[in-house]
Homo-oligomer: A and B are copies of this chain.
Amino acid sequence: MSGQADRNFPRALLSPRSVALIGASGDEAKNTARPLRYLRKHGYQGGVFPINTGRDEVLGEKAWPDLKSATMDAGEPIDHAYVMVPRAAVPGVIADCAEAGVVVASIYSDGFAEAGEEGMQFQRDMVATARAGGVRILGPNSMGVVNVHAGLGLSTNAGLEAPDLIPGPFSVISQSGTALGGLLSRGQERGFGFSKLLSIGNESDLSVGEVVNCLVDDPDTGAILLFLETLRRADDLAQAARRAFAAGKPVIAYKLGRSDAGQRMATSHSGALAGPDEAATAFFRHHGILRVDTLEALLETPYLVMGRRLSRTTKARSKRVAIMTTTGGGAAMVVDRLGLAGVEFAEPPDTVIDRLEPLGIRVGGGSPVVDVTMVGARPDVYGPTVADLIADTGNDAVICVVGSSAQLRPDVAVSPIIELGRSEKPLAVFCVPEAGESLKALSEAGIAGFRTPESCADAVCACLNWAPPAPEAAAELAQGVKALLANAHGSRLDERAALTLFEALGVASTHRLVLRPGEAAPDGISYPVAAKVLSADIAHKTEAGGVMLDIPDAAALMKAAASILESATRVHPEAEITGVLVQPMETGLAEALVGYRRDPVAGPVVVVGAGGILSELYKDACVRTAPVDRKTARAMIAGVRGLAIVAGYRGLPEGDLEALADVIVQVSKLALDDGRSVLEAEINPVVIKAKGNGVVAVDGLIVLKGIG
């Protein structure tokens, strides 16, 4: 039956008809005793087969000595095995699973890839066994699977101690087992109902993306929440996220690793400017995944976006928020944070002004906040005013701030909002006091309630930044580029070869000629020029005395070339040096950097930054998943503060940013390289000339996948 299993795995993973608990302990104090208890506690109706080689009974239930005997008693293969044996016993158990027709094995055992090279080898071998036997693996190092609707507490996570689990539309995949329990307990307290919760473990076989894919097809799942420590197999996630988007199921991610500077790549400047976390943000954005920054927003965001149908054409171009409040100070907390995030505010429409004026409430006149403190949460005012704001096309989201009534009159405080029902317009409700009951009432109505001004602002920003997945690239890499890549040697192109490749991509590059050692400068050079050592082996040319600028004439050039070669050879005796590259001194209004990188985590990205050392200090760059279209390229340029100086700032001359956008588009096409041979590419600087005069690539770098 091996090989057949795969097609059934989503059901066996999420809604198994029967489960085996391999290594189930009879000692209640042990974590491995928990799954049996949790299955019973939460009313799982399928077959449960504890397997314990040492005893025929655990926690008062019959136990089987092995999977084979359990399967015989079951009369059919068991869908899903939860494996809780020591690492050394795991390969044997997986072989047993294959033999017995188990479709999915979730592995709690640890000591695999997370435990160094030996563990990694163990993991590889185990996966090979599983693949050969048609068994899909969740984990290892997984705290299991919960299906709330089915009472399936197939988990060692203590969060399952909760007396009741609230069924609902939230499904969670977590790379941290403990976080899974944290989200479950926090969500339950807030009245959020869950469908599936999975601890993904090491992703030795099933990846986050594959499980997202299963959840897209799960009718009980309405939103998919990801707790991520890193990205693994991002392509799986990209495809699954696109399917989820098409199915109207928002995918929301909270990802750690924002501050790990140690991960940053250092080969190119663009690597330093835009590390793995910026690449991950670009990845999420590109594939229609919302990223939140605060833990609680992961739980609080779904109702803000569920049921909202974004399309590329209706995508909001602006981010204008309308605010309604029964407390000025409360509204100010949210407004303040939204302002920090660059959100704009919408003044109330005439309908609201006219409605409130007879009550003596003046709104508008420069303030975005509709403050009805004077009448409080009066149902005949509050509800219709919120309805007016929701109906107003002048805003893109509405936030309601509720004061003390949220704590004291939970029955009435949020009812005018709840009675309006869910709408297409994102609606967020922030309660200023401790207001558990009001927040629960909102959750039950499927309306997004927020406990802190910070998570409210975080979620609203994520919602406003949300865009449909970018269209999948249809274009092909130009034949000329393909040919150059196919013929490239070594792992690093020299500057001349790099510029030639950028030219093949359609990027205008500066004129250049090469003086071989001893060769005389030809006539017809237009001075002044720059000269640099030409060698793929020398990364830091300036430090090696390999660069001279503003060379005024042929005699000086000959002298410079000799000096450069002498110095470079002395500093890098091992380097293969082709000669000296001679280029005109290009001048323009500003410099930029355009980079490309195949990020090992988040896939291909393109980066644009302002040129020069200050931009490096300020880490002023914008990164997106490649390839990008021209519209995105323009948005990237607008996202680099330092490039404002050539975009009309303070009446300064404008640079040819359309030509720069074109370079970004062309360089981003390296993502279409099927062979994935380009690891990094960078043009630094791109000299930006005045509007209409184009841009020119002056220096370039290309790193290829080494052969072998």
Contacts and interface: CB of A to CB of B under 8 A. Distances in A.
Interface of A: 157-159, 161, 174-179, 181-182, 184-186, 188-189, 227, 229, 256-261, 294-296, 327-330, 332-333, 335-340, 403-405, 407-408, 432-435, 452-454, 610, 613-615, 617-618, 620, 641-642, 644-645, 649-650, 652
A434 B339 contact: no
A158 B405 contact: yes
A182 B182 CA distance: 25
Contact of A294 (B161, B329, B454): B454
A159 B335 CA distance: 23
Given A229-B329, A332-B229, A432-B178, A452 B296 contact: yes
A239 B613 CA distance: 44
Contact of A433 (B182, B294, B327, B610): B182
Nearest to A179: B329
Nearest to A454: B294
A186 B294 CA distance: 19
Contacts of A257: 336
Contacts of A615: 614
A644 B613 CA distance: 10
Contacts of A335: 259
A401 B479 CA distance: 56
A452 B618 contact: no
Contact of A188 (B181, B434, B453, B641): B434
A191 to B, nearest CB: 12
Given A229-B329, A294-B454, A330-B179, A433 B256 contact: no
Contact of A432 (B179, B327, B328, B405): B179
B332 A158 contact: no
B189 A434 contact: yes
Given A295-B453, A408-B158, A434-B188, A330 B645 contact: no
A258 B178 contact: no
A268 to B, nearest CB: 15
A249 B219 CA distance: 56
A356 to B, nearest CB: 17
A208 to B, nearest CB: 14
A332 B256 contact: yes
Contacts of A339: 258-261
Contacts of A618: 614, 618, 620, 641-642
Given A256-B336, A295-B452, A336-B256, A159 B433 contact: yes
Given A256-B332, A327-B176, A642-B618, A181 B404 contact: yes
A186 B434 CA distance: 5
Copies of chain A in the complex? 2
A229 B177 CA distance: 41
From A229, A259, A296, A330, residue with most partner B Cβ within 10 Å? A259
Contacts of A161: 407-408
Contacts of A227: 329
Given A178-B327, A182-B403, A614-B615, 4 more contacts: A179-B330, A179-B333, A179-B432, A185-B434
A-B interface, 8 closest residue pairs, ranked by CB to CB distance from nearest: A176-B329, A259-B339, A178-B327, A158-B404, A185-B433, A185-B434, A182-B432, A189-B434
B645 A176 contact: no
B176 A259 contact: no
B433 A181 contact: yes
Contacts of A296: 452
B330 A178 contact: yes
Nearest to A114: B328
B613 A614 contact: no
Contact of A176 (B256, B332, B405, B614): B332
Contacts of A185: 404, 407, 433-435
A328 B433 contact: no
Nearest to A435: B185
Contacts of A176: 327-330, 332
Which of A330, A434, A650, A652 has the most CB atoms of chain B within a 10 A radius of its CB?
A434
B159 A404 contact: yes
Nearest to A453: B295
Nearest to A158: B404
Nearest to A403: B178
12 contacts: A158-B405, A159-B433, A161-B407, A176-B332, A177-B329, A181-B404, A182-B403, A186-B433, A259-B337, A617-B642, A617-B649, A618-B618
Nearest to A180: B329
A158 B620 CA distance: 48
A260 B620 CA distance: 23
B453 A328 contact: no
Nearest to A340: B259
A672 to B, nearest CB: 34
Of A227, A229, A433, A644, the most chain B CB neighbours within 10 A belong to: A433
Contacts of A408: 158, 161
B404 A178 contact: yes
Nearest to A640: B617
A330 B181 CA distance: 11
A615 B405 CA distance: 47
Nearest to A401: B178
Nearest to A176: B329
B178 A329 contact: yes
Nearest to A293: B454
Contacts of A332: 176, 229, 256
A176 B257 CA distance: 37
A650 B454 CA distance: 38
A666 to B, nearest CB: 27
Contacts of A295: 333, 452-454
A113 to B, nearest CB: 14
A637 to B, nearest CB: 14
B340 A258 contact: yes
